[in-house]
Amino acid sequence: MYRELLADATFHNLLLACDRDLAEEARAGRCSLCGGVLHSATYPRKPRGRPRSVSRQLGPEHDRRFSFCCAVDGCRSRATPPSLRFLGPKVYLATIVVLVSIVLHGASPKRVRRMHEAVGVDRRTVERWRRWWCDSFTATPFWQIARAAFMPPVEHECLPGSLIERFSGGDADRLIAMLRFLGPITGGSHAR
Ligand SMILES: [Zn+2]
């Protein structure tokens, strides 16, 4: 399923449209420090993991992170809205960080090698993500509060698979619901 989704330009355009909506919301909310007007201050990202065949069909806006800068002199603080495409500073698409972590949970070395050939993610990266899900993600103030919404509790050792299965719908619906759910940890101070 991950191969089909990743190779589908419509899927990437849907994520972009979601990000646009989130950006509009953030802009309308004004500066959180001084209430000033926010000006667009997008910045470039070079997300890894998107097949070249699909990248060719996508516009340059797919490689830009929506972000804003307060227009008030002396404040100029940056506001980066949540994103379904970029998971904080991670260089791979958020979709990849979720799907590859699920697919390769407890996978054989052979399977990891095949994934490396398909999307360029190596074993060390997969292991780093595993630790991130189990240790860093579970320690975020966001998860400390959000976890209470799940009963029975989500098993931390099986993240992110144990979390995505709590959302309903088909594979793509669940993935998008999960990316949306992760929104609060994708922007703000996490983005640079
Ligand atoms: Zn301000």
Q: Residue 89: exposed, middle, or buried by beta-carbon count in 10 A (0-12, 13-18, 19+)?
A: exposed
Distance 70 CA to ligand 1 centre (A): 5
Backbone torsions φ then ψ of 84, nearest 5 degrees: -95, -5
Q: What is the pLDDT of residue 188?
A: 66
Distance 79 CA to ligand 1 centre (A): 9
Domain layout of the chain by residue ranges: 2-187
Decide if pLDDT at 119 tops 70: yes
Read off the DSSP letter of residue 86. B
Predicted confidence (pLDDT) per residue in 130-164, tens digit:
999 999 999 999 999 999 999 999 999 999 999 99
Integer angstrom CA distances of residue 25 from 37, 52, 55, 146, 180 = 13, 31, 27, 21, 14
The pairing of strands 38-40 and 43-44 is unpaired
Assess contact for 116 and 122: CB atoms under 8 A: yes
Distance 55 CA to ligand 1 centre (A): 36
Distance 146 CA to ligand 1 centre (A): 29
Decide if pLDDT at 25 tops 70: yes
Predicted confidence (pLDDT) per residue in 92-103, tens digit:
999 999 999 998
Decide if pLDDT at 2 tops 90: no
Distance 43 CA to ligand 1 centre (A): 19
Where are any strands of DSSP class E within the chain?
A: 38-40, 43-44, 64-65, 68-70, 78-79
Q: What is the pLDDT of residue 115?
A: 81
Distance 34 CA to ligand 1 centre (A): 4
Window from 19-23, 111-115, 176-180 with minimum mean pLDDT: 111-115
CA 91 to chain centre: 10
The structure tokens listed for 157 are 């050792």
User: In this predicted model, which residue has the larger pLDDT, 187 or 163?
Assistant: 163
Assess contact for 96 and 72: CB atoms under 8 A: no
Distance 189 CA to ligand 1 centre (A): 15
**Interior CA angle at 184 toward 178 and 190, to 5°?**
115
The structure tokens listed for 1 are 């399923």
pLDDT band for 192, please (50, 70, 90 cuts): very low
Mean pLDDT, the chain, whole residue set: 92
Distance 162 CA to ligand 1 centre (A): 39
Q: How far apart are CA 89 and CA 36, in angstroms?
A: 26
Window from 44-53, 77-86, 107-116 with minimum mean pLDDT: 107-116
Distance 188 CA to ligand 1 centre (A): 14
